[in-house]
Amino acid sequence: MTSALDGVLVADFSRVLAGPYATMLLADLGADVVKVERPGTGDDTRAWGPPYDADGTATYYLAVNRNKRSVALDLTDPTDLAAARTLVHRADVVVHNFRPGTMDRHGLGYPDVAAANPRAVYCSITGFGSGPGAALPGYDLLVQAVGGLMSVTGARPGEPVKAGVALVDVITGLHATVGILAALRHRDSTGTGQHVEVNLLSSLLSALVNQASGYVAAGAVPGILGNAHPSIVPYELLPTADRPLAVAVGTDAQFRALCQVLDLSDVAADPRYATNPDRVRHRAPLIAALAERTALRTADDLAAALGRVGVPCGPVNDLAGAFRLAADLGLDPVVDVTGPDRSHPARQVANPITLSAAPVTYDRPPPRLGEHTAEVLAWLAPDQPGREKPAT
């Protein structure tokens, strides 16, 4: 079965998270991704452990590098640099997340690549763009802080916290993937590639959606609400007899059903809580009344009772519980990716995209450093044809 991106060659100079996440998504969709790494050390995340898998590989690296080939090239070495230039001149897509100017110094910047390969889609991922912020370090924690995410995340005002994963990197990787796919579509209709630029700060501001819109359109600067929602009530964690329960009441009918289960007919009839805007204005007394009742029952008991009347809710799972739930729902959240000379299959989180005609594939486990250097360099030799995939 033909993959969606079959025949698309990606020269991947990115490392750590945002870029590798984007190129892994492209690889899952069938693109041939050649990951260019520094000899000796490779991608930074190869050393970011523990935890490690059964073969001793850092699981951070494993998270975003399956379905790729690894070639070790030293861009300060003339021979290796020549190979890198040949690779980008043959590629359909070039991706990097170096600071602005780094690729240009090696003759691998967009103007150089476009001159030799005008069909190439060239994607630059930066922390703060290529203008005045070009020199700023693009670390996810830093962008969560200066980009406003931490200002709305935390248990209570004055105690901002970061998200539990590098969420800005992931969001930026998704934006990069969308931009690359759009540029490929444009290239296929016009014959010409283009420069795709994404940065962490702009990606985060876009991902702040309703919070950012509230500021831009109405001048509202939100603060920390813990697990509460600024515009919907009740939409937060409520205590139970054993563990917190997430309750997401999005309609007035759901609110009345919640009150029915909790035997709070007086609350349901209270004009202060008649509509969602009313409930937002009277958040504190309403949550206190609900919490007093939910604390008397277990989370599982409440979840079952609320589920029967159509109130969205669920307990706070750890990752074991989250994967167990996904498996119980038939979502197949884990895949085993096998490869030659591997003592254990690489257990991977499944790609969440389902395509009916061109499904994602899991052909290669995350590569060892330089695992495919010889075959890729042989393919890049001057007497080899120009755009075919490297031989497997």
**Catalytic residue annotation:** 169
The whole-angstrom separation of Cα 262 and Cα 122 is 57
Q: Are 224 and 156 in contact (CB under 8 A)?
A: yes
Sheet holding 313-315, edge to edge: 235-238, 245-248, 313-315
Length of the chain: 392
Residue with tokens 């159509």: 310
The whole-angstrom separation of Cα 352 and Cα 335 is 11
Q: Are 90 and 7 in contact (CB under 8 A)?
A: no
**Residue 226 Ramachandran class (φ > 0 left, ψ -120 to 50 alpha, else beta):** left
Partnered with residue 94 across adjacent β-strands are 11, 122
Partnered with residue 70 across adjacent β-strands are 35
Q: C-alpha distances in angstroms, 184 versus 98, 113, 141, 300? A: 22, 16, 31, 48
